[in-house]
Chains A and B, each alone.
Chain A
Amino acid sequence: MKQFAGFIKKEFYHIFRDVRTMLILFAMPIAQILIFGYVVTNDFKDVHIAILDKSKDNVTKEITNKILSSGYFILEKDLSSSKEIEEAFKDGSIREVIIFEPNFAANLEKEKTANIQLLADASDANTANMIVNYTSGIIYDYLKKENKDIEMPMQIVPEVRMVFNESMKGVYMFVPGTMALILMLISAMMTSISIAREKEMGTMEVLLVSPLKPLQIIIGKVIPYVAISFTNAVTIILLGYFVFGLPINGSIVLLLAESILFILLSLSLGILISTIAKDQEVAMFISMFALLLPTMLLSGFIFPIENMPDVLQWLCHIMPPKYFIIILKHVMIKGTGLMFVWKETLILAGMTLLFLALSVKKFKTRLE
């Protein structure tokens, strides 16, 4: 036991004496969660627009006020002629131009119809779509309120409610995703690199010749990373809760237990990588390409899995983070219990055992 304590102490020396490692382990998780939280958000607000009002009457003013007071739009330019439109788009300061036709109020009064043209910068197609939808929504809303007295012959009123995320906040998506990403990165990449380093430096040989058992060596190397990963998981949950207001509706114990399961899975993956990689660079390379990119792209973190081609969907099904993200969303946001995520939990546990078995097998063939 004393031998073992010395071994873990040594591992902490390695971690605390390397600035790069320290940055990856402690600064990066916090930086990443803050970056995803504040920068990479698809929340809709403060879109800069220009308005070309050829009518300048009461109605157009009212509609303009309503749009600008919605909180989604900021008036960047008041245009006076159609010629200025192209230029305004080109210098990139605005995403949308709203054009009211001449005699807007009069037309509305007389002919019961008036035209508004919405021009949106579709170089970012998704955003353009959202901008136009929001604007149209505000205009219809105005129209409906103005004509309360007039009953249409038939009416269908959809009542929309966004369940589990009423205000459609982006945090609900990125906190679970970032957590999976960071735990994967720290646990798998850092362990595989640190084991590969022992091989590269020849110290692994010396350890193997010593009375320490191979299992002790591996466990000794992994324990510090379990502790650090777990600390990170807790930090991310706390940041999500206090900084971004992400609720924890389910059981905290279950949440932490699932996090530990995912950490163990990542560690076993890291061990497997280290049995394949002969030095640190290879270990890093494999971790980057086999773990990081798939976690970002194929886990449902950023892109919805349902929209992918079949082949990629199949790939997604073998990506461990996918299941962890599902579990996190269930437990944190929907507040459901193990009853609803037992399948995903089992898959993660199964994958962990598989990776460990493969590592042991690889390790043994090398000895023989």
Chain B
Amino acid sequence: MAVNTNDKIITVKNLIKKFGDFTANDNLTFDVYRGEIFGFLGANGAGKTTAMKILCGLSKPTSGKISVAGFDVYKQTEKIKKNIGYMSQKFSLYEDMTVKENIRFYAGIYGLKRSYIKEKTAELLDRLRMNDYANTLIASIPLGWKQKLAFSIAIFHNPKIVFLDEPTGGVDPITRRQFWDMIYEAAHNGITVFVTTHYMDEAEYCDRVTIMVDGRIDALDTPDNLKKEYKAENMDQVFVKLARNIE
């Protein structure tokens, strides 16, 4: 999909985040364009989650100029929160509530109208082919379904950006593939997708990827350009080469 590079939905300039002496994010600068799928890659502990928490308004940066959906992360976190969706790696649904109750609850905390929620819930259950399971407890549906449901709930209120924190952990390759279809669909509908992952094959599905190593951004480009630049056959090799450079 053609992305307008003048239409920036997230801008990050010189983001620094320190915990005591430890620098989790060391001078990050990048932009995310409206409607793209932006991959945020890196090993565990590279600083992905820290940066994402800052963008979601869960944590304050030490310094830097950051805006999300046009709002400032220092002062306008309330407005940011209304305009973003978030899906955690645990899928985070309430196990002791039914599929329908979960949808209603999460939609409810975004202050959506009851009639609207009702209408959209029916539509969503149809699309996920989960009509028969609307009143089933989350505890007894398969993991792949939970994942799809968690994602659908994260974008239920039509956010401008959806943040996905390692959304494909623990599910099989086919389910992962299906999940990425859902991500494409969301992007197609104009939702910007910001996704962290450490599955390098998934990086290929992104429009652009950044690779974080030790709190810094070492590379940022389309997967094709990165592969050319590092003379690699796939993203996995790009990542390995980058990680070696550090040592």
Looking across the interface, which residue of chain A has its beta carbon closest to that of B88? A202
- Nearest-neighbour CB distance to chain A for B149, whole angstroms, equals 13
Considering residues B96, B97, B101, B163, which has the most beta carbons from chain A within 10 angstroms of its beta carbon? Answer: B96
Residues of the B chain whose Cβ atoms lie less than 8 Å from the Cβ of A108: none
Report, as a range, how many residues of chain B touch the other chain: 20 to 34
- Nearest-neighbour CB distance to chain A for B112, whole angstroms, equals 9
Instruction: Determine if B95 is an interface residue (Cβ-Cβ < 8 Å).
Output: yes
Instruction: Determine if B86 is an interface residue (Cβ-Cβ < 8 Å).
Output: yes
Contact check, A211 vs B92: say whether CB atoms are below 8 A apart: no
Against B, the Cβ 8 Å flags (1 = close, 0 = not) of A1-39 are 011001101100110011000000000000000000000
Residues of the B chain whose Cβ atoms lie less than 8 Å from the Cβ of A3: 108-111
B109 touches which of A14, A18, A212, A367 (Cβ 8 Å): A212
- Nearest-neighbour CB distance to chain A for B177, whole angstroms, equals 24
Within 8 A of B (CB), among A317-368: 367-368
State the CA gap A212–B58 with chains docked (Å): 12
Looking across the interface, which residue of chain B has its beta carbon closest to that of A206? B92
Contact check, A367 vs B105: say whether CB atoms are below 8 A apart: no
Count of A-B residue pairs with CB < 8 Å: 75
B92 touches which of A13, A14, A205 (Cβ 8 Å): A205
Contact check, A18 vs B92: say whether CB atoms are below 8 A apart: no
State the CA gap A202–B58 with chains docked (Å): 14
- What does DSSP make chain A's interface, helix, strand, loop or mixed? helix
Instruction: Determine if B223 is an interface residue (Cβ-Cβ < 8 Å).
Output: no
State the CA gap A22–B219 with chains docked (Å): 54
Looking across the interface, which residue of chain B has its beta carbon closest to that of A205? B88
B58 touches which of A10, A17, A208 (Cβ 8 Å): A208
Contact check, A2 vs B78: say whether CB atoms are below 8 A apart: no
Contact check, B96 vs A211: say whether CB atoms are below 8 A apart: no
Contact check, A10 vs B110: say whether CB atoms are below 8 A apart: no
State the CA gap A203–B97 with chains docked (Å): 13
Instruction: Determine if A201 is an interface residue (Cβ-Cβ < 8 Å).
Output: yes
Contact check, A367 vs B59: say whether CB atoms are below 8 A apart: yes
Instruction: Determine if B69 is an interface residue (Cβ-Cβ < 8 Å).
Output: no
State the CA gap A205–B105 with chains docked (Å): 15
Report, as a range, how many residues of chain A touch the other chain: 20 to 34
Against A, the Cβ 8 Å flags (1 = close, 0 = not) of B91-110 are 11111110001001110111
Residues of the A chain whose Cβ atoms lie less than 8 Å from the Cβ of B60: 367-368
Residues of the B chain whose Cβ atoms lie less than 8 Å from the Cβ of A9: 105
Instruction: Determine if A207 is an interface residue (Cβ-Cβ < 8 Å).
Output: yes
Against A, the Cβ 8 Å flags (1 = close, 0 = not) of B155-170 are 0000000010000000
State the CA gap A211–B112 with chains docked (Å): 12
Contact check, B58 vs A6: say whether CB atoms are below 8 A apart: no
A7 touches which of B57, B86, B96, B109 (Cβ 8 Å): B109
- Nearest-neighbour CB distance to chain B for A100, whole angstroms, equals 69
- Nearest-neighbour CB distance to chain A for B44, whole angstroms, equals 17
A211 touches which of B93, B95, B101, B110 (Cβ 8 Å): B110
Contact check, B97 vs A10: say whether CB atoms are below 8 A apart: yes
Looking across the interface, which residue of chain B has its beta carbon closest to that of A204? B92
Instruction: Determine if B27 is an interface residue (Cβ-Cβ < 8 Å).
Output: no
A6 touches which of B78, B91, B95, B108 (Cβ 8 Å): B108
Within 8 A of B (CB), among A200-234: 201-203, 205-212
Looking across the interface, which residue of chain B has its beta carbon closest to that of A17? B96
